[in-house]
Amino acid sequence: MVLSLRYLGVLGICALFTACGQIPSKYAACRSDSCRPRHEHEVPQSGEASWYSAAFQGHLTANGERYDGGALTAAHRTLPLGTYVRVRSLATGKSVVVRINDRGPYVKGRIIDLSYAAAEALGLPDARSMRVQIERVEKTQTGADEGETLTTER
């Protein structure tokens, strides 16, 4: 009798876990047509850009390298680390190609944090933030070697 109660208890627990593990598709968090991996962010994207202060010089970034204000790098919330994007100022028409090496910004309304060199190329250091548009580019399309400043005037 005790043995059969144990079997019933174990069978009941297994049935409970099996039932809870299967979520009907109408209650699933996302459907197959609407799910995308987190890193596949819609680009081009428009919004506010800001830049890292000098206080971050030498601090570790999300990809493990040290922040260098003189490098053309940036932080983005969702694009894969190592992605190259062209950042274009909507006010001045200037643009610069940067490599995503960090996560952020975590200020509402901001879409990208630029290194000092990238911000300077856009004319941003004089302002707190600037309206920009970003678009993904292939490294081979940038036309620059590592460390070369890539800016264009419209």
Domain count within the chain: 1
The strand pairing partners of 80, in sequence order, are none
pTM: 0.65
Lookup result for tokens 């975590």: 106
Residue 58 lies in a domain: yes
CA-to-CA distance for 99 and 82, rounded, in angstroms? 6
Residue 32 included in any domain:
no
Residue 21 counted as domain residue = no
Print the domain residue range for 99. Answer: 45-152
131: domain CATH number is 2.40.40.10
CA distance 141 to 28: 40
Domain annotation covers residue 73: yes
* 93 within domain boundaries: yes
Tens digit of pLDDT for each residue in 70-85? 999 999 999 999 999 9
Q: What is the pLDDT of residue 98?
A: 97
Q: Is residue 30 part of a domain?
A: no
Mean pLDDT of the chain, nearest integer: 78
User: Maximum CA pair distance of the chain?
Assistant: 86
Report CA 40 to chain centroid distance, whole Å: 9
Chain length of the chain: 154
Whether 36 is covered by a domain: the verdict is no
Contact 136, 52 (CB under 8 A): no
pLDDT, tens digit (0-9, with 9 covering 90-100), for 100-154: 999 999 888 899 999 999 999 998 877 778 999 999 998 755 444 444 445 444 3
Residue 130 within a domain: yes
What does the alpha-carbon distance between residue 128 and residue 134 come to, in Å, rounded to a whole number? 18
Which three-class secondary structure state does DSSP give residue 145? coil
Picking from 92, 103, 99, 113, the residue whose alpha carbon sits closest to that of residue 144 is 99
